[in-house]
Amino acid sequence: MKPIVVLTLVGVISALLLSYVYDVTKEPIAEAKAKMKREAIQKIFPFTFDSLRTNKTEKAVFYEAYDAELNIKGIAVETSTDKGYSGNIEVLVGVSTACEVYNYKVLAHAETPGLGDKIDKDKFKAQFKGKGLEGVVWKVKKDDKDGFVDELTAATISSRAVTEAVYQGLKLVSEEYPKLSDK
Amino acid sequence: MKDALQVFTRGFVSENPVLKMLLGLCPVLAVTTTAENGLGMGLATTFVLLGSNTVISASAKLLPKTVRIPAYIVVIATFVTIVDLLIKAFSPELNQSLGLFIPLIVVNCMILGRAEAYASKNGIGYSIIDAFGMGFGFTFALLLLSAMREVLGAGTIFNIPLVGEDPKTILVMALPPGAFAGLGFIIAGLNALEKKQKSNA
Of A3, A18, A35, the CB nearest to B81: A18
A130's CB contacts (< 8 A; 6+ apart) are: A100, A101
Task: Enumerate the residues of chain A whose CB falls inside 8 A of the CB of residue B86.
Answer: 21, 25
DSSP state of A129: T
Q: Where are the domains of chain B?
A: 2-200
State pTM to two decimals. Answer: 0.75
pLDDT of residue A183: 47
CA B41, CA B104: separation in Å to the nearest integer? 11
pLDDT of residue B56: 92
User: Does the beta carbon of A1 lie under 8 angstroms from any beta carbon of chain B?
Assistant: yes
User: Does the beta carbon of A123 lie under 8 angstroms from any beta carbon of chain B?
Assistant: yes
Q: How far is CA B31 from CA A18, A84, B138, B151, in A?
A: 26, 22, 13, 15
Q: In a 3-state reduction of DSSP, which class is residue A155?
A: strand
- Residue A181: pLDDT over 60: no
Give me the amino acid identity at A78: E
pLDDT tens per residue across span A113-169: 777 888 888 888 888 888 888 888 888 888 888 888 888 888 889 999 999 999 998
CB contact under 8 A, B81 and A21: yes
Confidence of residue A70 (pLDDT cuts 50, 70, 90): confident
Task: Enumerate the residues of chain A whose CB falls inside 8 A of the CB of residue B154.
Answer: 114
Alpha helices in chain B (DSSP H): 2-9, 25-31, 35-59, 68-90, 92-98, 109-114, 124-154, 176-200
Task: State phi, psi for A53 to the nearest 5 degrees.
Answer: -125, 135
pLDDT of residue B161: 81
Q: Distance, in angstroms, between A8 CA and closest chain B CA?
A: 9
Task: Enumerate the residues of chain A whose CB falls inside 8 A of the CB of residue B92.
Answer: 32-33, 35-36
CB-CB contact of A44 with A105 (8 Å): yes
Task: Give the residues of chain B that fall short of pLDDT 70.
Answer: 1-2, 165-166
Of B64, B92, B175, the CB nearest to A113: B175
Predicted ipTM of the assembly:
0.75
